[in-house]
């Protein structure tokens, strides 16, 4: 249950852009990379992908940068995961024997299936916006 670097970078960057956009119209890669300590060129690829997928908007040139759009905060986490890690890890058997299947369970299946389904449910029902609306905003200092 440790996700890819790309997933963490993508999620944290989106949260950063959402929050900065409350006061400032655009955010540049350099600023995100500096503040979140993410390798700049690697982040560029991730944000380019997020823009292509219309999760955020981007503008080139002077005074350009990235900004949120109407859909940004309603993106479910599982959609982000799909883009960065793929959804295989949610469908695959934990021992990588095949597609996870209760009718042909692997030795771990019955001990892990419920835990796993809870994780899938959380990822499906939680949106980027939910993370920000959260009562507990401690995390903001950890974006």
- Decide: 77 and 90 in contact? Cβ < 8 Å: no
Residue number, 63 or 81, with CB nearest to its own copies: 81
Q: What are phi and psi of 76, to 5 degrees?
A: -75, 150
Residue 124, C-beta contacts closer than 8 angstroms, at least 6 positions apart: 76, 77, 78
**Does residue 28 belong to the site contacting DNA (CB under 7 A)?**
yes
Residue number, 41 or 99, with CB nearest to DNA: 41
Q: Which does 41 bind (CB under 5 to 8 A by kind): its own copies, ligand FES, DNA, none?
A: DNA
For its own copies, the binding residues in 6-35 under the rule CB under 8 A are 7-8, 11-12, 15
Residue 122, C-beta contacts closer than 8 angstroms, at least 6 positions apart: 77
What string of DSSP letters covers 28-93? Answer: -HHHHHHHHT--HHHHHHHHHHHHHTTSSEEE-STT-EEE--TTGGG-BHHHHHHHHT-SHHHHB-
Residue number, 61 or 138, with CB nearest to DNA: 61
For ligand FES, the binding residues in 83-112 under the rule CB under 6 A are 93-95, 97, 100-101, 105-106, 108-109, 112
| Residues 21, 66: Cα–Cα separation, whole Å | 9
Q: Which does 143 bind (CB under 5 to 8 A by kind): its own copies, ligand FES, DNA, none?
A: its own copies
Residue number, 63 or 141, with CB nearest to DNA: 63
- The residues that touch ligand FES, with contacts defined as CB under 6 A, are 93-95, 97, 100-101, 105-106, 108-109, 112
């Amino acid at each position: 249950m440790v996700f890819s670097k790309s997933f963490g970078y993508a999620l944290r960057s989106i949260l950063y852009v959402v929050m900065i956009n409350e006061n400032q119209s655009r955010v540049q890669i350099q600023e995100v990379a500096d503040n979140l300590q993410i390798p700049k060129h690697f982040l560029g690829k991730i944000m380019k992908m997020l823009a292509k997928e219309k999760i955020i908007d981007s503008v080139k040139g002077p005074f350009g940068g990235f900004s949120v759009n109407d859909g940004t905060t309603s993106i479910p986490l599982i959609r982000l995961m799909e883009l960065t890690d793929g959804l295989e890890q949610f469908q695959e058997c934990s021992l990588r024997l095949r597609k996870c299947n209760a009718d042909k369970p692997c030795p771990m299946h019955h001990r892990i299936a419920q835990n796993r389904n809870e994780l899938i449910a959380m990822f499906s029902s939680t949106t980027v916006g939910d993370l920000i609306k959260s009562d507990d905003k401690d995390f903001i200092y950890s974006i």
